[in-house]
Amino acid sequence: MYAKRIAQALNLSEEQVRNTLDLLETGATIPFISRYRKEVTGSLDEVQIGNIKDLYAKWLELDKRRAAILDSISEQGKLTPELREKIEQAETMSELEDLYLPYRPKRKTRASVAVEKGLQPLAKLLLAQRQLDLEREAAKYVNEAKDVASVEEALAGARDIIAELISENAGIRNRLRNTFLRYSRISTRLIPDKIDEDEKYRMYYKSEELLAKAPSHRILAMLRGEEEGILRVHIAPDEERTLADLKRRIVKNNSNGAQQVWMAAVDSYKRLLQPQMETEMRKFYKEKADKEAISVFTKNARQLLLAAPLGQVTTLAIDPGFRTGCKVVILNPQGKLLYNETIYPHPPVQQYKLASDKLKRLVLQYQVDAIAIGNGTAGRETENFVRHIPFERDVKAFMVNESGASIYSASPVAREEFPDYDVTVRGAVSIGRRLMDPLAELVKIDPKSIGVGQYQHDVNQKMLQESLQTTVESCVNYVGVELNTASKQLLSYVSGVGPALAQNIVDYRNENGAFASREELKKVPRFGAKAFQQAAGFLRIREAENPLDSSAVHPESYKVVSKMADDLHCSVSDLMKSKELRQQIVLQNYITDTVGMPTLEDIMMELAKPGRDPRTQFEMFEFDKNVHTINDLTPGMVLPGIITNMTNFGCFVDIGVHQDGLIHISRLSDHRISDPSEVVHLNQKVMVKVEGVEVDRKRISLALVQDA
């Protein structure tokens, strides 16, 4: 049932969806299914598999709620065949809840009080919308014992009953919902006597726009301003037009009975329907904005996690500072801490020559290949200092984005790694390791803290966390993990592993030494056949006895590769080294019931470049040597920069002045674009033109230089 519906919704074949759901049901992970079960799914990618999983969960929840509603109404003895059919055909949660609303157990309302007073027959009479002797009919219900003191009180009570009936009518609610979705305007006002110290919400002190067209970042900004008690937010379509539409649907004639019904309808809209619909719109558009913001954030996080690694080289890393000095560490090619020290090249201490001599000695003593410099406070000054040191060996200096390094250095992970060192040393280590392998280091930090995205602290945190978890898992498995050097944090993201098994792998490695083969994983406590199947292809063992253990070829396909080598009378190693031998392979000869052309083509790619890192090559980059602070900027300057963050409204660029500049989406291209990622990406090196500088507000406006 679900497979057919999902297939139609996602424009896939029913067989693809059913097979994918079966794999997910058995505990297979999305990276594993996408990489190693292409024949089963018809080569669906991670996004398509994720969409199947999400839609299945959504409809499962809908049907669970449907069953609960049917049970509740049935227990009340009010479930008619017609109502059952409507509930069973409802396709959204809103439709279901509208149908259930009249039967939902309620707290005391004005309508329920009127019913207790015996005014329901009068309400029914008014609903007939006939010309009546209102005074005489209503007088029948005046009863001081029931707290109905007058004709007007009787009519008011009857109208309360009618107002609630109107508000619970599924047809009216559905039409009104569509009106609110299409025509609502979101307006904001500054709450009197409230002070917005940073003027963050200046543009929202008095604003109004069509809600359906309001960008997600603006909706989140307005709601945050309301949450902080600075703004008042109101959502509604034009009241006059909405009431006119309601009147056409409810009022049948000009009788005095109809006039009473219309009074009840106006009250129903203003007191019940409009507030309810506004709450729904807030929820709907907040969820929509959350999804867009989370999409931007995860896209940025992915690009940051997959940033080009410098590789395994001996690295000197510096966490810059003025008064407290610059923390210096030396890391071996595997990222192990060899030495740490503090130097003071800047004011107020200003031991320039002593600091310079120390770095020269360390570079020579440890045969340093690269210097990593954090881009925070004193970063540019430290970079300038380092670049003027006449080192006796060829060593390159790199600025490193240190967002989140302080979060890592104070974390339990850092304390466990370096129990005998303070946070400043741990921060410098993190900066150095980020240069060598961003992915391996950034997985140790909560992704929300790595400095990319928009409004990530305002969105649904559960949804954000799930999305980030999926993104990190995807990145880790896309790159692959070196089994004998990976941290337990990195291992925990490998398909089928998780935190507990990751710890078991590290414990086994510590007790028994390096893994000699993937097969040895089966000796790790609790690492069963299922975990091995899910994880093995993503774990690499450099220089293993079986060369396939260093590749992305899954152990279940080793026999296929061995057969290829046997047929060519060579070894697997020969096959991996020789392009001529590989060109002799006829793939059709190796197709079986379980191994199809997609897997065979993947195997051939791996044999050509075993264990290749799919990330881009590292590029050198330098800021303008004449620009160090925001005061050095003047409009018209053209400068090199690195894109540090992407949002829906533009991107932020580090130009080396301790304050990122904004390229608004309108200044990214000479033609209209709807998404900055159409033109640029995170970590991209760009040339930008300074268009405006507000030193007091620390705001820099930039434009992308198109022909750079």
pLDDT at res. 55: 95
Percent of the chain with pLDDT strictly greater than 70: 99
- What's the pLDDT score for residue 451? 64
Cα 338 to chain centroid, rounded: 37
Rounded-to-integer distance, Cα 125 and Cα 142, Å: 16
| Backbone torsions φ then ψ of 454, nearest 5 degrees | -140, 130
User: 630-704 sits in which CATH class?
Assistant: mainly beta
Query: What kind and span of H or E run contains 694?
Result: strand 685-694
* Euclidean distance between CA atoms 264 and 4, whole angstroms: 45
Model confidence at 73: pLDDT above 70: yes
Mean pLDDT of 513-529: 97
Torsion of the alpha carbons at 407, 412, 417 and 422, rounded to the nearest 10: 60
Average pLDDT for 603-619:
89
pLDDT per residue as tens digits for the range 192-218: 988 888 888 999 999 999 999 999 889
Q: Residue 619: pLDDT above 90?
A: no
Q: How many CB atoms lie within 10 A of CB 337?
A: 19
Tokens 């967002």 map to which residue?
A: 403
Give Cβ neighbours of residue 374 (< 8 Å, ≥ 6 apart).
Answer: 317, 318, 319, 320, 399, 400, 402, 405, 427, 428, 431
Query: What's the average model confidence in pLDDT over 255-282?
Result: 97
Pairing of strands 337-343, 231-236: unpaired
Alpha carbons 606 and 609: distance in angstroms, whole number = 5
pLDDT at position 403: 82
Q: Quick one: pLDDT at residue 397? A: 93
Domain with CATH 1.10.3500.10 in the chain: 110-297
* The pLDDT of residue 54: 95
Q: Average pLDDT in the 71-85 region?
A: 95
- Residue 7's pLDDT is 96
User: In this predicted structure, what is the pLDDT of residue 446?
Assistant: 80
Instruction: Check if the beta carbon of residue 558 is closer than 8 Å to that of residue 549.
Output: no
> 174-188, 201-215, 290-304: which has the minimum mean pLDDT?
290-304
| pLDDT at residue 613 tops 90 | no
In sequence order, what are the beta bridge partners of 481? Answer: 539
Q: Range with the lowest mean pLDDT among 40-49, 455-464, 484-493, 692-701?
A: 455-464
Q: Which of 2, 5, 8 is nearest to 22 (CA)?
A: 2
Report pLDDT for 453: 64
Q: What does the mean pLDDT of the chain come to?
A: 93
Q: What is the pLDDT of residue 407?
A: 87
User: Max CA-CA distance within the chain?
Assistant: 108
pLDDT tens figures, 317-337: 999 999 999 999 999 999 999
Fold observed for domain 110-297: Tex N-terminal region-like (1.10.3500)
- Which residue spans of the chain are classified as CATH 2.40.50.140? 630-704
Provide the pLDDT for residue 317. 98
CATH second-level architecture of 315-436? Answer: 2-Layer Sandwich (3.30)
Residue 454, pLDDT > 70, answer no
Confidence of residue 447 (pLDDT cuts 50, 70, 90): confident
pLDDT band at 421 (very low <50, low <70, confident <90, very high): very high
Q: How far does CA 122 lie from the centroid of its chain? A: 55
Domain 498-608 in CATH 1.10.150.310? The answer is yes
Residue 683 has pLDDT above 80, yes or no: yes
Q: Which two tokens stand for residue 245?
A: 């539409």
Residue 692 has pLDDT above 90, yes or no: yes
The whole-number pLDDT of residue 658 equals 84
pLDDT number for residue 618: 83
Residues in the chain: 708
Encoded amino acid at 108, one letter = K
Q: Are residues 617 and 571 in contact, defined by beta-carbon separation less than 8 angstroms?
A: no
Nearest to 644 by CA among 632, 635, 636, 652: 652
Q: Are 638 and 662 in contact (CB under 8 A)?
A: no
**What are the tokens at 613?**
């890192």
DSSP state of 145: G
Classify domain 2-75 at the CATH superfamily level.
Answer: RuvA domain 2-like (1.10.10.650)
Helix (H, G, I), strand (E, B) or coil at 91: coil
Spatial distance between the Cα atoms of 22 and 603, rounded to a whole number of angstroms = 25
Average pLDDT for 460-471: 90
**pLDDT value at 452 more than 70:** no
What pLDDT, on the 0 to 100 scale, is given for residue 433?
A: 96
Q: Which residues of the chain does CATH 1.10.10.650 include?
A: 2-75
CA-nearest of 615, 486, 598 to 540 is 486
The mean per-residue pLDDT over the stretch 106-118 comes to 93
Greater confidence (144 vs 450) lies with: 144
How many CA atoms does the CB half-sphere of 353 hold within 13 Å?
0
User: If we measure between CA atoms, which residue out of 688, 683, 685, 684 comes closest to residue 706?
Assistant: 688
pLDDT: which is higher, 451 or 116: 116
Q: How confident is the model at residue 707 (pLDDT cuts 50, 70, 90)?
A: confident
